[in-house]
Amino acid sequence: MNSKWLVVLFFLFTLVACDSEDDKKGRFLLKGNEKLKENDTKSAIDFYSEAIKIDPEFVDALYNRGLVYQRNNRLDDAIRDYGAVLTVMP
């Protein structure tokens, strides 16, 4: 009985460790979107930034972070993110 639980735990740890970069950045994007819905703009920026660390050309995260920066009147930061979006998708 004990060995069955060890096998199950090993499988779960292996499954978590095998997350692809796309899965990770997608989860950060979704968490950022949730925080934005809760009007927690600082956490939203943090989550979007984590997604961008994984993929610096992740347009959805760049655009969303730009929107949050714009909402917080951090216009230079917003312009930088919008510019990055245009660089990736002219």
> Would you kindly state where each structural domain of the chain is located, as residue ranges?
20-88
| Confidence (pLDDT) at 5 | 61
| Confidence (pLDDT) at 88 | 94
| Confidence (pLDDT) at 51 | 97
Superfamily of domain 20-88: Tetratricopeptide repeat domain (1.25.40.10)
| Confidence (pLDDT) at 20 | 84
| Confidence (pLDDT) at 90 | 82
Q: Which residues of the chain have pLDDT under 70?
A: 1-18
CA atoms within 13 A on the CB side of 23: 6
Tokens coding 6: 């060890």
| Confidence (pLDDT) at 12 | 52
Structural contact between residues 12 and 6, judged by C-beta atoms closer than 8 angstroms = no
| Confidence (pLDDT) at 72 | 97
